[in-house]
Chains A and B, each alone.
Chain A
Amino acid sequence: MKPIKKDLIHPIPGSRWNHILSGVVGDKLAMLALIIFVFYCLIALLAPLVAPYDVSDPAFMDLMNSEIPPSWISGNSQFLLGTDAQGRDLLSVILYGTRLSLTIGICAVLIQVTLGICIGLVAGYLGGRIDNFLMRCADIQLSFSNMMVAIVFLAIFQSLFGMARYQQLAMIILILVIGLTEWPLFARTIRASVLAEKQQEYVDAARVMGISSKRIMFRHILPNTLSPILVIFTVQIANAIVAEAALSFLGLGMPATEPSLGSLISEGFAYMFAGSWWICVIPSITLIILILAMNLLGDWLRDHLNPRAYKD
């Protein structure tokens, strides 16, 4: 009795973007989320230009200035958001931290997407034993929480390289570990879409016309699975950023000398009991707003691209 609609709509790629864009403009919340996301991306890109201080300047760290509250409390307009325990300008550190967090998040998800698409396409298209094996792997991987896997591997790397070496490599290791742990999500979605697509006539037609399977996969099936990928992509960036922050918070991620949002929060936490709440709270809020915007965007995309979802 439910209206029968296709799971996934497959408009021609050009109109898909129009569809999304016109939808975003019509929805205030989605618009706001998009603006916030773009804003974060911009400040991350332009951090060296907009930050009031240069974080690589040795004079940047001045213990004389440590733990100054934000300007609206201290009245000191030199540091808009105050300073941290090492006397660094909090605003500048947060800008650079956001840049780092976003970079790690996006790069990690790019790895996930690449892996996920390849594995999903192969599994879905070839089917049979290979499919079975790959999906079993995905199940096992999913049943261990990726957070857990990441913690374990980072802990191992940290002991393997020693603290100093590890901190140099932290960013790459973080990207790799977060990137390698969540591919099953993408792989499963792609596989499901491929299986659905395989039933479609145009794939049969393409095969009858003697087009090779690689070509069918990349030219015919892939473009039509983009909608679900886009949804997961958005949400996964949020997840990757949270994962990075959590790992850094545990001391397994970015070092204090090159802090991401997570390491800033971790560092600030120690000073909260001394009354310097802003060192911890302001980066936390920065992180929450970013994640919230990404999740809202993801939710909205899911509803918008998938008409089967509940509307209430």
Chain B
Amino acid sequence: MLIFLLRRLLQACFVMIIISVISFSIQDKLGDPVQQMVGMTVSPEERNQLRNELGLNDGFLVQYWRFAKGAVHGDLGTSYYYKEPALDVILEKLPATLELAFCAILIVILIATPCGVLAAIKPKHILSRLLMLISSIGLSVPIFIVAILMVYIFSIELNIAPSFGRGQTTEFFGFWESGLFNKDGLSHLLLPSLSLSIALMPIFVRLIRAEMMDVLQSEYIRFAWSKGLSARRIYFIHALKNTMLPVITVGGIQAGTLVAYTILTETIFQWPGMGFLFMDAVSRVDTPLVSAYLIVVGGIFVITNTFVDLIYGLFNPTVRLASHGL
């Protein structure tokens, strides 16, 4: 366990260093703080002196070191637009994005698992065929078109749910603005989370089906049948648990896709989350905000991957042994 965590930590550091170098380069190359601080009227000499004072004429590594030190202390620069620490601006939007992603993942798990299992155990059934057909088509419809369709059908034509914003939120612990606990917030959450989950669904239905079919061919399943166990026990205990192993791994790999998809979804539904903020920051050339976003997303990324590995370990006993043994 310890070794496992240490290795994870090392990997995380590596990823974070890459990301921070990228974010630093963005700030370094794109933003000229001097320009931001003073007007056009200041003479070149004075600027240069200011640059010296700010340490902007130091070598790349020196500057990066300063940046990294700041980053570790939670100082990722100040947003040009909001005039506030970039990290604070981002973290303020974090709950919205997390709630959106969380709901979407929940919907995916709740729907894709039974669908995939059904398609695997009864491949000839008309329902399974329909499912596979739908998921084939679903795989070909890009997420933003799904979202647009949802807006068009449910918001414009049927007027069932609102198509933008987050609605009413309730504050918890003084920093977490949640939309999960009132009707207005939930109705605003409906379309975005549905779009996001529909976009992820086909991948998982197909994956679960393929893995499950593989598992059902295995000897231990045949042995389970020969023991006279009920079909339910075989499908949902013996087979599903083994099916979930590769699914969890792929789920971890999809974490990046999820982030990209949240950006698209938030843009379409004007969901006030980090992705929306990021696109805004990009169009405003608010470089500290852009690089802060990258670092926060990198952090989330590392955390999710560790989390996924831990879940994988829970499902797969051989992993546990390996970390004990070492």
Contact = CB atoms under 8 A, between A and B. Distances in A.
Direct A–B touching, Cβ under 8 Å: yes
Interface of A: 2, 140, 142-145, 147-149, 151-152, 155-156, 158-160, 238, 242, 245-246, 249-252, 265-266, 269, 272-273, 277, 280-281, 284, 287-288, 291-292, 294-296, 299, 310, 312
A32 to B, nearest CB: 14
B311 interface: no
Interface stretch (B38-46, B56-64, B107-115, B280-288): B280-288
Interface of B: 15, 22, 26, 29-30, 123-124, 136-137, 139-145, 148-149, 151-152, 156, 210, 213, 217, 252-261, 263-264, 267-268, 278-279, 282-283, 285, 287, 290, 294, 297, 301, 305
Given A143-B305, A151-B260, A159 B136 contact: no
A265 B294 CA distance: 27
B148 A280 contact: yes
Given A159-B290, A242-B142, A143 B253 contact: yes
A310 B263 CA distance: 35
Given A160-B29, A272-B151, A152 B285 contact: no
Contact of B294 (A147, A152, A158, A277): A152
A159 B256 contact: no
B116 to A, nearest CB: 13
A166 to B, nearest CB: 11
A148 B294 CA distance: 10
B268 to A, nearest CB: 7
Contact of A273 (B156, B256, B285, B305): B156
Nearest to B253: A143
A272 B156 contact: yes
Given A249-B264, A269-B268, A159 B30 contact: yes
A2 B217 CA distance: 9
B152 A277 contact: yes
Contact of B137 (A152, A250, A292): A292
12 contacts: A144-B256, A147-B261, A148-B260, A159-B30, A159-B290, A160-B30, A249-B264, A280-B152, A288-B145, A292-B140, A299-B136, A310-B210
Contacts of B217: 2
A155 B26 CA distance: 10
Nearest to B129: A312
Contact of B143 (A144, A246, A288): A246
B257 A147 contact: yes
A150 to B, nearest CB: 8
Contacts of A295: 136, 139-140
A122 B22 CA distance: 28
A145 B256 contact: yes
Nearest to B124: A312
A272 B144 CA distance: 14
A151 B263 contact: yes
Given A143-B256, A145-B256, A158-B282, A265 B136 contact: no
A159 to B, nearest CB: 5
By secondary structure, the A interface counts as: helix
A148 B267 contact: no
A279 B139 CA distance: 23
A287 B141 CA distance: 8
B256 A265 contact: no
Contacts of B152: 272, 277, 280-281
Contacts of A158: 282
A144 B290 CA distance: 17
Nearest to B261: A147
Contacts of A265: 144-145, 148
Nearest to A285: B145
A162 B264 CA distance: 22
A148 B156 CA distance: 30
Contacts of B290: 155-156, 159
Given A152-B294, A159-B285, A284-B145, 6 more contacts: A143-B256, A147-B261, A265-B148, A269-B148, A272-B152, A299-B136
A250 B263 contact: yes
Contacts of A288: 140-142, 145
B95 to A, nearest CB: 21
Nearest to A252: B282
A296 B151 CA distance: 27
B107 to A, nearest CB: 20
Give the top 7 A-B pairs by smallest Cβ distance, nearest first. A145-B256, A147-B260, A145-B257, A292-B140, A312-B123, A291-B140, A155-B282
A284 B124 CA distance: 32
Contacts of A156: 22, 26, 30, 290
Contacts of A144: 256, 301
Contacts of A249: 144, 264, 267
A40 to B, nearest CB: 14
B190 to A, nearest CB: 18
A288 B146 CA distance: 10
Contacts of B140: 238, 288, 291-292, 294-295
